[in-house]
Amino acid sequence: MSQQIAWQASLVLMTLVAFGFAFVAINSGTREEDYTPLQKRAYRLRTWLFWVLVLVLGPVMIYTLLDLPYAASRAGSNSGAVQVVEATGYQWRWELSRERVAKDQPVEFRVTSGDVNHGFGIYDADMQLVAQTQAMPGYTNVIRHTFAKEGTYRILCMEYCGMAHHNMTAEFKVGNL
């Protein structure tokens, strides 16, 4: 259904663009000696459209940027209660420094690889992606996340890394320690 709506909206927009081109093509043969009034009108319209876009899209941009997790991750790394999990990917397994973490406390995953690139994806019990990063040889990526639900979480490799890629999983538990 949504594809049908998108298709219809695209057709309407393409038709409007086509009419705009046709209008310009039809009126391009007429010459006006003095372009100054036209130029002033165009600049007024352009200035007005610019400020409308700033006033409409500015708050939208700020609202959507508020959901970025960077401030929360910095706050989590400064507190003393951060749980650290070292995660290293190898063909075709994950090695974790701990298999249990506390609920409602920040967890810092330090992710690297011992051989090739791997995708490090954390999934909850419903197999919904919670967080992800790349595991690369010689480099450590950091994910900070606070788990609000208890349960068993799975780590899956998200980048094809060879024949046994599908078996590259690990689990850890979130609960009260």
Number of neighbours of residue 48 by Cβ within 10 angstroms: 10
Percent of the chain residues topping a pLDDT of 90: 57
Domain boundaries along the sequence of the chain = 1-29, 32-67, 81-175
Confidence at residue 64, expressed as pLDDT on a 0 to 100 scale:
83
pLDDT band at 11 (very low <50, low <70, confident <90, very high): confident
Please give the Cα distance from 130 to 13 (Å, whole number).
Answer: 37
What would the CATH number be for the domain defined by 81-175?
2.60.40.420
Model confidence at 81, in pLDDT bands (50, 70, 90)? confident
Q: Which two tokens stand for residue 92?
A: 């075709």
**pLDDT tens figures, 101-113:** 999 999 999 999 9
Average pLDDT across the chain, whole number = 87
Q: How does residue 28 score in pLDDT terms, banded at 50, 70 and 90? A: confident
The per-residue pLDDT for 41 is 87
Mean pLDDT of the 79-84 span: 78
Asked whether the beta carbons of 173 and 107 are under 8 A apart, the reply is: no
Q: In the structure, what pLDDT confidence band is assigned to residue 9 with cuts at 50, 70 and 90?
A: confident
7 pLDDT higher than 70: yes
* Tokens 């791997």 found at: 118
In this model, does residue 126 exceed pLDDT 90?
Answer: yes
Decide: helix, strand or coil at residue 12.
helix
Instruction: Tell me: pLDDT of 77 over 50.
Output: no
Give one DSSP letter per residue of 21-83, joined into a string: HHHHHHHTT---S--HHHHHHHHHHHHHHHHHHHHHHHHHHHHHHTT-SHHHHHHHHHSTT-E
Q: pTM for the full model?
A: 0.58
